[in-house]
Amino acid sequence: KTCVPTERVAQVDVQKLIDTTSVGKSKKSVLMEDFKRKQSELDKVQEGLLEEKKDLESGKLSEGAKKIRREKYEKQLAELAQTYQRFQEEIRVKERALTSEILSEVRDASSRIGEAQGFTAVYFEEGVLWAKPGKEQAADALKGVPRFDLTAAVMDEMNRPR
């Protein structure tokens, strides 16, 4: 006797969808452009500080000038560290927002495919991505059931022009 599940469940690889769909690539591109722009700004400031450090260590400055410039250098170095921290947080926030937007599109495409193909639930790495209306509790109970991989079908759905 074999137990045959009466509910059909599927899974999708969200990271693959982020990396390969036009929506995912577009959103990642926006994030990368922002990252590169901000990194370029930080690099310019850092280059200036490296030049200032060389001047301070050159031995060509009087003690008075060296003291004034060292204080300014240390202040700018601390500001650079704060700017870097702020930059990292901004990138994290934008990355979460873009990932959320992509996940919403994955969820929409998964629901269309899941409904059309008669699935009860579609899972992703972190849990239930979509469940047939009225079957949300069943979806939790079906976590261990073998799953169909709908990644390719969801990818096609997401890449389809609208």
Percent of residues, the chain, with pLDDT higher than 70: 94
pLDDT at 1 over 60: no
pLDDT at 3: 54
Arithmetic mean of pLDDT, 128-149: 81
The mean pLDDT value for 88-98 works out to 93
pLDDT confidence of residue 2: 53
pLDDT given for residue 56 in this prediction = 87
Closest CA to 95 of 11, 32, 9: 32
Q: Is the pLDDT of residue 68 over 60?
A: yes
The pLDDT of residue 91 is 92
- CA–CA separation, 5 and 144 (whole Å): 11
Residue found by looking up tokens 């709908």 in the block: 150
The pTM score is: 0.70
Nearest to 12 by CA among 114, 100, 98: 114
pLDDT of residue 71: 93
Hey, what amino acid is at 40? S
